[in-house]
């Protein structure tokens, strides 16, 4: 099975940089995803890492270390609209055509003025 840990809540100031950590213990690994979810809305895809290292996409970057079971999502130049929950999800190794995502409980980020 999968066990995924993220901080429950974080607060940061508009214009600042925030790092949201995710650690996982898994029986198998086939990639890690970050999703953003505003309250009551659908999760939207942010980033995907399957190899170690940093993936940068605009103001958002995601890092993965498979040996440490660790990832982080880095948000730069924070904006008020970035206030949301950030979900870390690990994909199981595929068995045939089955491959599901297991989600952490998410980190609720509050951006303040």
Partner 1 sequence: DSGVTQTPKHLITATGQRVTLRCSPRSGDLSVYWYQQSLDQGLQFLIHYYNGEERAKGNILERFSAQQFPDLHSELNLSSLELGDSALYFCASSVGQGSEAFFGQGTRLTVV
Interface with partner 1 (CB under 8 A): 33, 35, 40-45, 48, 87, 89, 92, 94-106
Cα–chain center distance at 86: 6
Residue 21 three-state SS: strand
Residue 7 three-state SS: coil
Q: Are 63 and 72 in contact (CB under 8 A)?
A: yes
**For residues 13 and 30, which CB has a smaller minimum distance to partner 1 in the complex?**
30
Please report how close the Cβ of residue 32 comes to partner 1 at its closest, in angstroms.
11
Cα–chain center distance at 90: 9
**For residues 15 and 94, which CB has a smaller minimum distance to partner 1 in the complex?**
94
Structure tokens at 5: 């840990």
Please report how close the Cβ of residue 71 comes to partner 1 at its closest, in angstroms.
15
Please report how close the Cβ of residue 58 comes to partner 1 at its closest, in angstroms.
16
**For residues 13 and 25, which CB has a smaller minimum distance to partner 1 in the complex?**
25
């Amino acid at each position: 099975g999968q066990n995924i840990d993220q901080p429950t809540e974080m607060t940061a100031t508009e214009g600042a940089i925030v790092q949201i950590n995710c650690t996982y213990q898994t029986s198998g690994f086939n990639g890690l995803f970050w999703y953003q979810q505003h309250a009551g809305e659908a999760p939207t895809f942010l980033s995907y890492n399957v190899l170690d290292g940093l993936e940068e996409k605009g103001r958002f970057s995601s890092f993965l270390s498979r040996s440490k079971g660790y990832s982080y999502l880095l948000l730069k130049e924070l904006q008020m609209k970035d206030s949301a929950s950030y979900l870390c999800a690990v994909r199981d190794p595929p068995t045939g055509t089955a491959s599901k995502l297991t989600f952490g409980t998410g980190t609720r980020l509050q951006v303040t003025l």
